[in-house]
Structure 1
C-alpha cells in the first residue's frame, strides 16, 4: 500500500490515485466526465454528523471510482513521495471494488463491517 499515515474523520477517504491503465475494470461516463480511480489508504469512521448515522465505508485497500469535472478536481489534492492523493467524501464514490486478501491473511470481514485484516 503506502507508508502515508494520516487520520481521516467522518465520511471522508484519502485515496492514492491509480492510473487508468493499471485498473482491471474501467468505467466510462456517457456524458464524457473524467473518471478517476484510487486506492483507499485511510478512511473516517463513517459517522455522518448531518444525518446522525453511521454510513458504509469502502475497505482500506479497496479501489474506488469517482468522476470529476475536467475544470475542477474532486476533493482536495496533495502529493506525497511523488504520488498524488485526494481527500474525497464517500458521496463522491460511484463504485468500490473490495480488496483481495490472500488465504494467509485473517478472514475477510462480513458485509457491513469496517475491519481490515490484521497483518
Structure 2
C-alpha cells in the first residue's frame, strides 16, 4: 500500500487564531475512497509546510452544514518526515489546483 499524503492549505484557519492541529484537523471535502490510504496530513501556510500529522482515525460529519466532510484524529509526525517534506515543498505545492485548499500526493512522489 502506498502511503498517501493529504495536503491542506490552512492559512485562513491560522489567521482565525487556530493552532496547527485545530486548523488541520477538519472539516475537509475528502474522497471516501482515499481515507484508507491517507497516512499523513500536511498543513501549508502561504506556500510553506508548517505541520505534519500522522492520521490515526478518520470521521465523517453526520449533520449540519458540514455534513459529509471529513476530519481526522492523529499525532504529530516525526521530525525526519517533516524535514523530508519541507525539502520537497515546491513539488508538493504544485499538486494544488487553482484555488483548491485540498490536494493529494504519495510519499514515493518525493523520494
TM-score (norm 2): 0.31
Greater Cα radius of gyration, structure 1 or 2: 1
Q: Relative contact order: is structure 1 or structure 2 higher (C-alpha 8 Å, sep ≥ 6)?
A: 2
TM-score (norm 1): 0.30
